Chains A and B, each alone.
Chain A
């Protein structure tokens, strides 16, 4: 069978700092390029130029009709660039993509919605922007409106809609698009939780109908649930392609084989800005060892090594801990009295937050690391899913569970202090 999507050796190059001298560079460059283009084609390669950066390199894979494939990777791995190339928004610098069938790409809902136009008018405008014909929209119009539940506001400009109504209408139009190949971004998963859930349901439905879907996400749970196959991108290259459960496990483990330790080498790759930059994140035991799975009774430290690059900033490192189902367990800003409301001299800091034993439940936890300035709030970096660790209960009888081995709900399982006041029957 002919593949629905055939991606052959695709690369995308950007020039760093092009924005700053856009006018000067483009004018000169385009003249030079015009003269050099025939020669370049003869040589058959692109020259290495200073300041160039390959967001994607040598990406090749095929997607069969009816397959649902997840594209995963950390921020900056090239997911969005790949999506933009497949959606024909930007062109690859090299390589070739062939897509068979009617393509629908959804990088956001409500593209082209005009606030001054009414709901009715926007359905037609947005539908035609998404590639539906006027007849097709007219035929589906009632369904779209009924689904969005905005019947009585059809002739109201959408600028007067509540954000919920707006999103429902926008989503409803997108949901009625019937492409053979659907390319979809996780930015769809913005908005409230029920809307996200609807997106996921929709994706599931689409997959079941035998359409080809390419789905970009950060949400490992969604990927493993919706896709049989996942592709992991790292620094613009494919590093894993296979069963989604296997690939997402690989993603969570990271480059150095451990999910509990990540180090950023070099200055350009590390998350951060001119004020603070991340160096490494680690999950540690009180003895100082890196630890990927820990006993539920044991306390654990979340350690980040970071660099304060400018003096006179009140920098607050903070950890964001998420449970495996995506719910946020807690956000913990640093509360070391030694550094409270003090500015930090330049230097390297190793900040550790200690989670007591008998506090978290069993399961997998994902840790995001950030350094922020409060008042006014400014986030210098936020690296989501920087590290992950598992919590296990060995069922030795002295955890909160004691000897009970059945299902035990809750994302935390603190051993609380209890008191009793008893009145004895005499």
Chain B
């Protein structure tokens, strides 16, 4: 029997915690300038029915930039809560991978890494890959993971997958610190092409954001993607020269292969940018174009279906 009793008593107890009498609410307007209608731009909200395709709401995302910041901050904070090592895990994860791959591939399988020491080679390849796979995986699940928020409050929904991507960037930034340390240890100086790193990483992030946003929206309607994405990423890793040297298609080699896997030139370029080596220019630009298209397509699709999220999530 349900008994939704709403009584107006003043004193009751919740569990063992006596409810303290709370003084009247401090709802006074302390900073009147902020609330005075007319002094600051009065906000106007228009809510309308079915819209067609919408472009990315850049202005609104900007207005909610602090929310984006707090969502990223939450993701980063929560990830290492109640762990003894804390943020060190951001370094330890790729570092341990590096050790494992070094032992197996370099020592046992004797895979060549060219002139660069294998640990450095594999770490520089794992960094962009780990960023990409973490970003895509967490972005895909981000929207369904935010069900409570979506059904209770309004904010630009694109903030959710974007926050997941940004949180992955923070981890990537921390892991970059270890790369710098490794390079010092092996006495490898960064070449001039390091100046290209922001561009290469920008393309990588754009690609991850586009794919993650697309998958996050698809996952809301079709939960199948929760199982598809990890599998896809697993296969994708072996198709990407993160842990091996790309000798099959050469540096600027077969464009067809690059178009099929834009991560191929991205990982190769990333490694070349930090450790030196020839850059696959053509395919890098092709990858940039693919990343841009993926980003636009992912965001457009997301914007198209976001209105339905609260009804079907």
Which A residues lie at the B interface, using CB under 8 A? 11, 14, 18-19, 22-23, 26-27, 30, 37, 84-103, 105, 107-108, 111-112, 114, 116-117, 121, 124-125, 128-131, 133-134, 136, 139-140, 143, 147, 149, 157, 162-165, 167-168, 175-176, 178, 180, 189, 191-198, 201-202, 205-206, 209, 219, 318, 320, 322, 325-328, 331, 333, 370, 372, 377, 379, 382, 384
Report the separation of the CA atoms of residues A133 and B67 in the bound assembly, to the nearest whole angstrom. 8
Indicate if the CB atoms of B31 and A116 lie closer than 8 Å.
no
Closest 6 CB pairs of A and B: A88-B154, A97-B47, A162-B17, A164-B14, A99-B45, A193-B9
Q: Which of A93, A131, A219 has most B Cβ within 10 Å?
A: A131
Would you call the interface of chain B mostly helix, strand, loop, or mixed?
loop
Chain B residues in 8 Å Cβ range of A100 = 42-45
- Which residues 4-38 of B have a CB within 8 angstroms of A? 4-17, 19-27, 29-31, 34-35, 37
Chain A residues in 8 Å Cβ range of B47 = 85-86, 88, 91-92, 96-99
Chain A residues in 8 Å Cβ range of B13 = 192
Indicate if the CB atoms of A372 and B17 lie closer than 8 Å.
no
Stretch from B74-82, B88-96, B199-207, B266-274 contacting the other chain: B74-82
Indicate if the CB atoms of B154 and A87 lie closer than 8 Å.
yes
Further contacts, 20 of them, CB under 8 A, given A209-B27, A326-B8:
A19-B312, A86-B47, A89-B151, A89-B153, A90-B307, A94-B49, A95-B49, A107-B152, A107-B153, A116-B81, A134-B70, A139-B30, A162-B15, A197-B10, A202-B25, A318-B1, A320-B3, A328-B5, A331-B1, A382-B2
Chain A residues in 8 Å Cβ range of B27 = 175-176, 178, 202, 205-206, 209
Q: Can you list 30 A-B pairs with a CB-CB distance of less than 8 A?
A: A22-B312, A26-B312, A88-B47, A89-B154, A94-B49, A94-B50, A97-B48, A99-B47, A100-B42, A101-B37, A116-B82, A121-B77, A125-B74, A131-B155, A157-B81, A162-B16, A162-B17, A164-B19, A178-B27, A193-B6, A193-B9, A194-B11, A194-B19, A202-B27, A320-B3, A328-B3, A328-B7, A370-B2, A379-B2, A384-B4
B310 within 8 A of A: yes
Report the separation of the CA atoms of residues A18 and B311 in the bound assembly, to the nearest whole angstrom. 10
Chain B residues in 8 Å Cβ range of A140 = 30
Report the separation of the CA atoms of residues A178 and B46 in the bound assembly, to the nearest whole angstrom. 20
Known: A136-B34, A326-B8. A90 touches B49 (CB 8 A): no
Would you call the interface of chain A mostly helix, strand, loop, or mixed?
mixed
B187 within 8 A of A: no
- Which residues 69-108 of B have a CB within 8 angstroms of A? 69-70, 73-74, 77-78, 81-82
Indicate if the CB atoms of B6 and A196 lie closer than 8 Å.
yes
The residue in chain B whose Cβ has the minimal distance to the Cβ of A11 is: B49
B222 within 8 A of A: yes
Indicate if the CB atoms of B19 and A195 lie closer than 8 Å.
yes
Indicate if the CB atoms of B14 and A124 lie closer than 8 Å.
no
B221 within 8 A of A: yes
Known: A22-B221, A23-B221, A379-B2. A101 touches B42 (CB 8 A): yes
